[in-house]
Amino acid sequence: MKSHGTIQTKNKNLPKQNKKKKNTSKTNHKNTRSNTKPKRNRHRRTKNKTKNTPTNNKQTTNQNNTKTKTKHKNNTQILPLVRRTTNNKNSNKNNSIKANLRQTNPTKTSKKLYDLLKNKLKIPSRKAKLYIEWLKKPITHPTVKSLLQFCKYLKINPKQLEEKGLFTRKFPINLKTPTLIKLKTHILNEGKITITKTTKQLQANYVNKDPTLHKYVIELLKELEANVKEKPRWDQSKGAYVTNIDPTIARALIKTGLKPGKKTITNPTLDPEIYKNLQLRKYHFQATLTEEGTSSIYITKEKRLKMTIAWDRSIDITDKLTPQQIQKLKQLITEKKRKIPIGKIKSKRYFDILSIIVDNPPKLLVDEMKILNKVHSKTFKIRPQKIHVSKDEHISVAWNIIFFDIKSLSLFYFEYGMLDNTWKSMRLKKQFELFRKYGRRKLSDEEINEIQEYLNQIPRRITNNWIKSATKKLFRET
């Protein structure tokens, strides 16, 4: 039996299709012709001279049925070789069959290589077959773990692979390149690096609702020659777009000082290159204001227009609190409201908890405050805003830095602003124009109504219509 032109297998038990059938009838021992047309023999033609009889017709049809049954029974002995499929219409199945046959029966050249890997170098058969498949393809995508095992078996120094230019990506990756530092900012704000429990592999992704921000991240990944899809995927459970980042870039980010895990626990710091480079510093604060920041504008009781720009960072302080202190905080929450304003623990009863909070601000926000004060000769301060008690009794504190006076707002708007063409940048532009027009005087009733109508046109949260239109514009289906 020949299967897809790769391997020819024979089975002696199989009956030949072209063999002349014998008639076992007791009444007539000659060959009979059935009512249906007989199958033609391609090699030689024979004519049956005898006439049809009713008894012979029944017997021959029964014999044909029994022979076809035995034929199918014998064919099942060969099916495991071709993964138990006999449908030749599906090309995908055919390709998988061919791949399976190549693995189980390598060619003469690959047989010698297989013998060398398994018998002489004592490499397990499964690994030997894998390495042979690598050599058959012009480009392969092995994991770092399997590539290091390959080098170990063949006693090759991994650095030689880089020196001989065997990688499609340039190695080593420059950890101080501006592109990688910009990507690190996005991951610090809205990204995540984790290690899987089972395979111990790195996984990194970027999560945000705004498709424009994903465009920024995808362009940075392309500059780093990363394997990335042109369009982010929508995650229904998170209610946002997700861009996956390949493990190589994830390892490079870890080398820059970004630890895997929750950022509230790892407590990262600001990259040193942002202190030195003006463009990197500007991009960092633009991305941070867009991803972590908020801008709000409102009318006070004195009929004056106020505006604020702020962003916050959180830190986990569970390990620094005693069980008694955690119990005190749990008494201040309900099942629905698990956030505690910092003003509720300013009494003497909670003084010990407040002192722990004040002594442990997030390092990243402290670094951002220091660099702003140094560059602009200001005295910006950070403050604890609220406490969050999770269902698994983890205590985290959100700190923020806020700007509300005209000089600080103008500084941030003109010096930094937000990343172009994003939802928040569009909203900030309209808010600041409104603030410059009405922010220095008392408002009339007509102006208040006019401002309220204008603010209703720029809601606080990103709208679904804006997400759809931006997605179609940025990621057109090909």
Predicted confidence (pLDDT) per residue in 259-287, tens digit: 999 999 999 999 999 999 999 999 999 99
For residue 189, give the H/E element and its range.
helix 178-190
- Predicted local confidence at residue 29, as pLDDT: 45
d(CA 462, CA 195): 31
453 domain residue, yes or no: yes
- Predicted local confidence at residue 128, as pLDDT: 84
Q: Maximum Cα–Cα distance for the chain, whole Å?
A: 120
85 domain residue, yes or no: no
Please check whether residues 468 and 373 belong to one and the same domain: yes
- Predicted local confidence at residue 88, as pLDDT: 43
Q: Please tell me the least confidently modeled range out of 215-219, 329-333, 399-403, 456-460.
A: 456-460
d(CA 203, CA 261): 10
Q: Which is more confident, 173 or 344?
A: 344
62 domain residue, yes or no: no
Q: Which is more confident, 325 or 145?
A: 325
Please check whether residues 375 and 413 belong to one and the same domain: yes
pLDDT-derived band at 161, boundaries 50, 70, 90: confident
Domains in the chain, number: 3
Q: Which is more confident, 22 or 251?
A: 251
Helical H segments across 322-384, by residue range = 323-330, 351-358, 363-376
| Average pLDDT score over the chain | 79
153 domain residue, yes or no: yes
281 domain residue, yes or no: no
Please check whether residues 187 and 307 belong to one and the same domain: no
Is the Cα dihedral 392, 393, 395, 398 positive or negative?
positive
User: Model confidence over 419-453: pLDDT tens digits?
Assistant: 999 999 999 999 999 999 888 789 999 999 999 99
- From 284, 218, 204, 216, select the one nearest 249 (Cα to Cα): 204
47 domain residue, yes or no: no
Q: Please tell me the least confidently modeled range out of 209-218, 349-358, 468-477.
A: 468-477
Whether the pLDDT of residue 23 is over 80: the answer is no
User: Model confidence over 205-219: pLDDT tens digits?
Assistant: 999 999 999 999 999
pLDDT-derived band at 20, boundaries 50, 70, 90: very low
- Predicted local confidence at residue 169, as pLDDT: 67
* Token representation of residue 212: 């424009």
Whether the pLDDT of residue 77 is over 80: the answer is no
User: Model confidence over 26-38: pLDDT tens digits?
Assistant: 444 444 444 444 5
- Predicted local confidence at residue 382, as pLDDT: 95
- Predicted local confidence at residue 156, as pLDDT: 84
Where residue 122 falls (left for φ over 0; alpha for ψ -120 to 50; beta otherwise) is left
Mean pLDDT of the 9-24 span: 44
Please check whether residues 415 and 461 belong to one and the same domain: yes
Give me the percent of the chain exceeding a pLDDT of 70. Answer: 75
| Percent of the chain that is helix, strand, coil (3-state, to 5) | 50, 15, 40
Please check whether residues 296 and 243 belong to one and the same domain: no
Whether the pLDDT of residue 98 is over 60: the answer is no
Contact 384, 312 (CB under 8 A): no
User: Model confidence over 100-109: pLDDT tens digits?
Assistant: 444 444 456 6
User: Model confidence over 287-332: pLDDT tens digits?
Assistant: 999 999 999 999 999 999 999 999 999 999 999 999 999 999 999 9
The pTM assigned to this predicted structure is 0.69
- Predicted local confidence at residue 206, as pLDDT: 96
- From 398, 384, 399, 397, select the one nearest 329 (Cα to Cα): 397
Q: Which amino acid is at 430?
A: K
User: Model confidence over 321-347: pLDDT tens digits?
Assistant: 999 999 999 999 988 889 999 999 988
pLDDT-derived band at 247, boundaries 50, 70, 90: confident
Mean pLDDT of the 388-415 span: 93
Beta strand pairing call for 240-245 and 233-235: antiparallel
* Token representation of residue 215: 């465009």
pLDDT-derived band at 69, boundaries 50, 70, 90: very low
Please check whether residues 250 and 330 belong to one and the same domain: no
Whether the pLDDT of residue 51 is over 50: the answer is no
Domain around 427: 288-474
32 domain residue, yes or no: no
d(CA 17, CA 54): 25
Choosing from 246, 261, 276, the residue where a domain stops is 261
Please check whether residues 158 and 182 belong to one and the same domain: no
Please check whether residues 219 and 343 belong to one and the same domain: no
36 domain residue, yes or no: no
Contact 205, 239 (CB under 8 A): no
Sequential DSSP letters for 99-152:
HHHHHHS--HHHHHHHHIIIIIS---HHHHHHHHHHHHSSS----HHHHHHHHH
d(CA 57, CA 53): 6
Please check whether residues 328 and 391 belong to one and the same domain: yes
d(CA 194, CA 244): 12
Report the CATH number at residue 189: 3.10.28.10
pLDDT-derived band at 133, boundaries 50, 70, 90: confident
